[in-house]
Amino acid sequence: MLIHSLGVIVLKDKEDNNTLRKRYEAIFAPFGKILMKTGLTPNMISILSVIASIISCFFYALGPFIGDSWGLLIGTFFLGISSLLDMLDGSLARARGSAGHFGALLDRTLDRVSEFFFLLGLMIGNYVYPPLVFFCFEGMIIASYVRSTAEKRGGLSMTSTKGIFERKEKLTLLSMGCLAQILINEAILSTWWLFEFGILEIVILIIGVLSNISAFQRLMYARSYYSSVN
């Protein structure tokens, strides 16, 4: 019953994500045309996105030295820059008509690298307990692995194996958690009993749990797909 329910959820989520993807592509299409005039390639922008994530990691790690709130604020700013660049590389690729398998492979690979640096910085800066960081990153990696393996071995398209928690949602929630932690550090939300446990650690735990659920949903979707074609 649980497996069937999750299968239904992921099928519905696939339809919703396709609609959201079309809207997102339409919004960023003009930016892709503008970037065409700069001479930049999608792969260059993907690399710039990783560089921004490394800078984000650096400032997160500096938190104990420059102030926890400043480390979170500057680190999250560059996290946002990295996320924006990640969106723009796809828009540029579509505008150039050069979206291909290697570009998609490179983009996914660098996405995982960026996520590693975000979490590494938060761990070094002592914002989150290391076990939670490892659990969160495990969820991110396994969700991506299931999708990539299902596509390679089962013939699923790149937009088929969606789950309830995509990368954009993960980074948005992570950014919100960092900003909420700043408010706690500055004693704006410190009177709320919930935040005594560390809102950022709760957010990291949620991301890890939902990422693992997404991985399971993708497994169930692939199982359903394979059953229908065999």
CATH number of 61's domain? 1.20.120.1760
Rounded to 10°, the helix 167-185/101-124 angle is 20
The pLDDT score that the predictor gives to residue 57 is 98
The pLDDT score that the predictor gives to residue 50 is 97
Span 47-56, pLDDT tens digits: 999 999 999 9
Measure CA 8 to chain center: 23
The pLDDT score that the predictor gives to residue 55 is 98
The pLDDT score that the predictor gives to residue 133 is 96
Span 110-152, pLDDT tens digits: 999 999 999 999 999 999 999 999 999 999 999 988 888 877 7
The pLDDT score that the predictor gives to residue 160 is 52
The pLDDT score that the predictor gives to residue 51 is 97
DSSP 8-state secondary structure symbol assigned to residue 165: S
Q: Which domain holds residue 65?
A: 2-229
The pLDDT score that the predictor gives to residue 185 is 82
Residues in the chain, pLDDT under 70? 1-22, 24-25, 28-29, 97-100, 153-162, 188-197, 230
Six-digit token pair at 98?
Answer: 């050069």
d(CA 67, CA 30): 39
Domain count for the chain: 1
The pLDDT score that the predictor gives to residue 230 is 62
194 within 8 A of 181, measured Cβ to Cβ: no
